[in-house]
Amino acid sequence: MATLAPAPTVRPRGSLSVDGHHEPCVIVIFGATGDLTHRKLIPALYNLAADGHLPENTALVGFARRPLNDQQFQTDIAETAAQYARRPFRPPAVAAFADARYVQASFDDPSGYQELKRVCAELDRRYGIRGNRLFYLATAPSAYTTIVQQLEAAGMIRKGAGDGPGWTRVIIEKPFGHDLPSARQLNAELAAVLREDQIFRIDHYLGKETVQNILAFRFGNRIFESLWNRDHVAHIQFTVAESIGVEGRGPFYEQTGALRDMVANHMLQVLALVAMEPPVTLDADAIRDEKVKVLRAIPPFTTQEVEQRTVRGQYGPGMVQGTVVPGYRQEERVDPSSLTETFIALQLRIENWRWAGVPIYLRHGKRLPERTSSIAIQFKRMPKLLFSRGSQESLAPNVLTLRIQPDDGISLRFNSKVPGTGMEIQPVEMDFGFCSLGRPAAEAYERLLLDAMSGQQALFIRHDEVEAAWAIVDSIRAGWAHLPLPQFPNYPAGTWGPPEADALIGRRGFRWLVPQPANQQGAYAPA
């Protein structure tokens, strides 16, 4: 494990994430009794409060259909924080929520929004919040437009200085539409009520420590940025593997599938950060301008390219980590003859000066052997072999791996001489884990909530990023519509997907890599 000597903190131009002063606000969570609120949002807010990062006098309001009163909601908050927060539960840490309020109403009921307006005004007076509002739409996407329109009708959207004191920001969760036309429609409906700088499209992957560190690693280290191009990189591969199945979300997954669930959002967003050009500053629009350029440089797939450069799969019964599990078609509330893909592998091209000719491989699947997410940049082999009588392939290529989860960190594989009298070369691993910096890593939702309270949008997705990503995904789905269906299921649960995925990356002489835990020096497992 690498160790770091103390060094002065460097403050960037612009702001990728803010750690300064935050104004207090009323946080209104629509869907306050749902799973996202319980598992992610309340724990994140509790952790921020426990760490002293939540602005003083911040107030919380829940809005949902379930019948609760204020006291029951406050009890629910405390129980949720005790169960799911990463910080040990201490009642004083939830003092910010001791006066939390609850509004019971359906999302299309105007009277509920009038009551919400009254409650927020009362909290303004009590805590001196001055009209600042953060609305978190932890609901089904079908409710987004209804909620923002109702907020506008109730006079709760402040678009400019003439609309009263304070600011208004709205957070919405993915998916942002289910294809390009629906994404454009959603963007238009939101734009009719809100300015773009008031809309925070959240993708929690962008709040993960390693993902944020991509920019620091690339643009803060000359030795790596100078190699980050087609002259030195042989290929890039990005794996997001999940060992779980659909976990009771059968109806949602039946309508979504692996391509739209993961590639259209998380994976293309992270790839854009890996491949983008240096931004002028770390301001939100400077970063997002460069990300959009990457997505637009990925040409839509033709039907022939879809056939040659994509693989889809669906898991059957098998064994994952010693437990026998059912196939996808046997999962709860899944069509017994479902043709929904639970695995996707594809090869992309980025047609710009930096990446021309470099294959980019993406792979995602459910019921794979382990939960892991990583980006591997494999460099080209040395042009001449000096240290072996065998073939050039016997000398391992250098690989830089960015581990996103579960063991966040960065590792570099390089070749070294084995101690002794001979000249035997062996690949070794230099590994760095973020825990070695001595600070606990904030969870993704903590960082993103804090940025939203500060108005910092660098880690949130802009409307044109959404549309550029859907254009790529839609071209793949259009190609699938003209091709024969695979014989599902085509991989057993607990394996690394259908064999066609290995053939896809193997055509260029590569293989899938999975980083092993940091304490296993130099261990890279083929997958």
What is the set of active-site residues?
266
∠ Cα 252 253 255 (to 5°): 70
Number of other residues whose CB lies within 10 A of the CB of residue 111: 11
Q: Quick one: tokens of 118? A: 């009254």
HEC-encoded secondary structure of 381-395 = CCCCCCCCCCCHHHC
Name residue, tokens 């939830």: 94
Single out the residue of 275, 248, 28, 59 nearest to residue 139, CA to CA. 28
Name residue, tokens 């940091």: 518
Cα 481 versus chain centre, distance: 28
Q: Quick one: tokens of 322? A: 């010693």
Terminal-to-terminal C-alpha distance of the chain: 24
Helix (H, G, I), strand (E, B) or coil at 225: helix
Burial class (CB in 10 A: 0-12, 13-18, 19+), 300: middle
Cβ-contact 135, 158 below 8 angstroms: no
Cβ-contact 413, 522 below 8 angstroms: yes
Q: Quick one: tokens of 417? A: 């001489």
Cβ-contact 373, 362 below 8 angstroms: no
Alpha-carbon gap, residue 53 to 160, rounded angstroms: 28
Positive or negative, the CA dihedral 450, 146, 462, 164 is negative
Classify residue 1 by its DSSP letter.
-
∠ Cα 227 275 372 (to 5°): 100
DSSP H helices in 158-280: 180-191, 209-219, 222-225, 250-258, 268-275
